[in-house]
Chains A and B, each alone.
Chain A
Amino acid sequence: MAIPTYAGKLERTWYYSYRIICALIFLFLIGPILIIIPLSFNVQPYFTFTPEMLSLDPAGYSLRWYEEFFASEEWMRSIKNSFFVAICSTIIATSLGTLAALGLSRPEMPYRAVIMSILISPMIVPLIISAAGMFFFYSSINLAGTFLGLILAHTALGIPFVVITVTATLSGFDHSLTRAAAGLGAKPTTVFFKVMLPLVTPGVISGALFAFITSFDEVVVAIFIAGVEERTIPLQMWGGIREQISPTILAVATLLVIISIFLLTFLELIRRRSERQRGLAPA
């Protein structure tokens, strides 16, 4: 894409203006997320930069919103709840989803298209409809307002991501490897654990990360199903933004951005490792 030396004036102008347009779009994408980070250190309860902050005066900055956040029992409980619900639903979604993906990727699988669209449906159906439907369902079996209900509901929402990522990994899987292992005398379980699993693990892990973030970030279903005891971080934020937006929310938001940076890095490392393993990228 480097500009050739023979480029004319018009081409040069276009080249640079195209770059500027792209830079602006990238700014639109990332700017809003970055801007809340310094704002969360504001000493004043405002959502904008104070003159002290702009002059980089240390007095303009403080950790008071973080202190408030860590001192709040409600927020602490919501953190615990969020991790608990997300981890539990990730485990269920990943194990069931991986099993199903293994079945779906077999060439003998009957009615594949229909089953696939059923398993994907929680991703397609508008969340408000899913939430309302699940609310009636879990109320009818007395699971509304319980952790179990919330975990199962989030599991359903996370499943499509696991199924999609794991089937995608398996679609590139060379089945002659398992046949070779079996031909060399390995038992089916050995074949699975020693040959198949190591190769699909990256797909399973990224599916699990998707399931985790889906539950960790989910609010619509939580609004309907979670009671006061089960409030998660997003639910707490939702309440906070609707009633009176306090800068504590910006502190929480900053922490969540840091969590997503971690998740993203982790996912990227897995992707690279898996590409190396499959010989798709130079080591």
Chain B
Amino acid sequence: MANTYSKVGEMTTNDGVPLKVSLRRSQRKLKIWAFLLVAPLLIFILVSFIIPVVNMSLRGVENPQVQTIMPNVTEALARWDGVELPDEATYAALVTDLTMGRKNKNIGKVASRLNYERSGMRRVISGSARKAVKLTQGPYKEQMIKINKSWGDVAVWALIKRESGQFTYSYLIAAVDYKTNDQGEIVAKPENKQIYKALFGRTLMMSFTITAICILLAYPIAYLLATLPLAKSNLLMILVLLPFWTSLLVRTTTWIVLLQTQGVLNDVLVWMNIIDEAGRLQMIFNKTGTIVAMTHILLPFMVLPLYSVMKTIPPTYMRAALSLGANPVTAFIRVYIPMTVTGIGAGSLLVFILSIGYYITPALVGGQSGLLISNMIAYHMQNSLNWGLAGALGFILLVIVMVFYAIFNKVIGIDKMKMG
């Protein structure tokens, strides 16, 4: 105990280290321990998930094609004023790059990249590359313009210059139905070519609709589950949990079986003489199909948070309101519903976030009118192979989801979420 007090007023441990320092040291050790436990998973998620998703979104602004495949043109155009046609040196660079690109078989990438911005460019680039290989000596300017008169168009050169940077905003503006015109201004696309804004609008609208229907359907049964005796409510809870645990594809299949024109529901309606054989309803492969199937799939996500909030509300509050003279409807609206707002919020945000990025169900039962933005991203990933546009659309979708998730986190907190 001799060195417990090394200086006056300062406590130390047995080996003379001040207590404060020693505490801090052991705290730091605990902190490192805690962090080490999390580290493997954190690294795994960062490397295999976060970075790929960020990379995917970055594809929406990356623009490597022109710069890497046509380095000489890129360099020459950097000096170009953009008013008149470029000089002979630029045309010589063009011939070099086209020849190289054809030899390396990657000129097609530039061709399709520029074709996104201006239709017809694919033919201009590929065709010119085929012919440019045969040019042996200059001056190249006239020869190139003879090969394809587009090379005499200032707008084409301006386009190449604009897209020769490392980054581009053209996918992002294309994802909201804008484009750059020949003068380099950003303008709205012609009405008949606008698809994405409407698609985002439809996705949001359908997500709102599904969320609203989910609230309407979930509220009564969550209330019933929360007020019934435990034995009965546990039994009924199975009816909510079984769909929750059943494969998504099974639930989608079952709606196809039920709703298709030769399906069960139409048969029942015909049998009951509500509709005749010719008047079978088209209830699936359209917007209705998507909304019905998605509501069914997402309903448990609304019921469960609502139920867990309602479970905590003592029945005495309602009784108090009633005995104080409120009629049942007033008591319910003024007393009960306000206490369930957090549950409604949690469920709605969850359902909304999930439905806004839904892919499988709309793809299977959506037909044309029931497709959502995810389906368009998949289309650009798999069919049109326009990965830049897929990245830009994905980025916008991601931002929308993140905003709602941030609200969710702020209002409810992810760690308060319960499952099952």
Contact = CB atoms under 8 A, between A and B. Distances in A.
B267 A220 contact: no
Greatest chain A CB density within 10 A among B34, B256, B353, B390 is at B34
Interface in B332-382: 353, 356-360, 363-364, 374, 377-378, 381
Contacts, number: 266
A55 B140 CA distance: 85
Contacts of A204: none
Contacts of B243: 29-30, 33
B221 A22 contact: yes
A106 B34 contact: yes
A124 B401 contact: yes
Contacts of A102: 37
Interface string A44-63: 00111100000000000000
Contact of A21 (B34, B45, B220, B381): B220
Contacts of B245: 213, 260, 263-264, 267
Given A120-B414, A121-B45, A36 B267 contact: no
Nearest to A36: B254
Nearest to B257: A47
Contacts of A238: 249, 360, 364
A115 interface: yes
Interface in A214-269: 216-217, 219-220, 224, 234, 237-238, 241-242, 245, 249-250, 253, 256-257, 260-261, 263-264, 267
B264 interface: yes
A136 B27 CA distance: 42
Contacts of A242: 363-364
Nearest to A39: B257
Interface in B80-131: none
A9 B41 CA distance: 61
A256 B56 contact: no
14 contacts: A100-B38, A104-B34, A104-B38, A109-B38, A118-B50, A122-B45, A127-B374, A128-B394, A129-B357, A130-B49, A136-B59, A164-B419, A165-B419, A237-B250
Interface of A: 1, 11, 18, 21-22, 25-26, 28-30, 32-33, 35-36, 39, 46-49, 96-97, 99-100, 102-104, 106, 108-110, 115-122, 124-130, 132-137, 152-153, 155-156, 159, 161, 163-165, 167-168, 171, 206, 210, 213, 216-217, 219-220, 224, 234, 237-238, 241-242, 245, 249-250, 253, 256-257, 260-261, 263-264, 267, 271
Given A134-B49, A210-B419, 19 more contacts: A25-B217, A36-B253, A39-B257, A46-B262, A99-B41, A100-B42, A106-B37, A115-B42, A124-B405, A125-B401, A126-B394, A128-B359, A130-B49, A130-B53, A137-B51, A153-B48, A168-B415, A237-B249, A242-B363
